[in-house]
Amino acid sequence: MTKFYLLIINVIFVLSLAGCGAASVALLVLSLPVGVTHPQQVEIPGYTLGPVSSDEFPALLHNAIPASEGDIYFTGRAQWTGLENVNQPSGKLIQSIVAITDFQILFLWWREQDERYEILILLPYSEIYSVDLKTPGFGALIKFCHKDDEIRIGDQNINIDQETSLNFLGDIFGDAEKTKKVFVFLDKKITRKEGLEHLPSPCENDLESSTEHQGFNEDNVTEGS
- pLDDT tens track for 76-103: 999 999 999 898 776 778 999 999 999 9
Question: Among candidates 116, 113, 124, which has minimal Cα distance to 152?
Answer: 124
Q: What residue segments make up the domains of the chain, in order of their start? A: 1-36, 42-220
- Mean pLDDT calculated for residue range 187-212: 59
Q: What is the pLDDT of residue 194?
A: 52
Say if residue 216 is exposed, middle or buried (CB neighbours under 10 Å; 0-12, 13-18, 19+). buried
Helix (H) or strand (E) holding 29: helix 21-31
- Helix, strand, coil shares of the chain as percentages rounded to 5? 25, 30, 45
Q: Does residue 143 contact residue 165 with C-beta atoms inside 8 Å?
A: yes
pLDDT, position 154: 83
Question: 125: which DSSP letter?
Answer: G
* pLDDT exceeds 90 at position 54: yes
Q: What angle do CA 209, 214, 215 make, to 5 degrees?
A: 125
DSSP H or E stretch at residue 22: helix 21-31
CATH for 42-220?
A: 2.30.29.30
Which residues on adjacent β-strands are paired with residue 74?
100
pLDDT at residue 201 above 90?
A: no
Question: Which DSSP string do the residues of 95-146 spell out, in sequence order?
Answer: EEEEEEESSEEEEEEEETTTTEEEEEEEEEGGGEEEEEEE--TT--EEEEEE
pLDDT classification of 147: cutoffs 50, 70, 90: confident
- Of 209 and 97, more confident: 97
Question: What pLDDT, on a 0 to 100 scale, did the predictor assign at position 171?
Answer: 84
pTM of this structure: 0.72
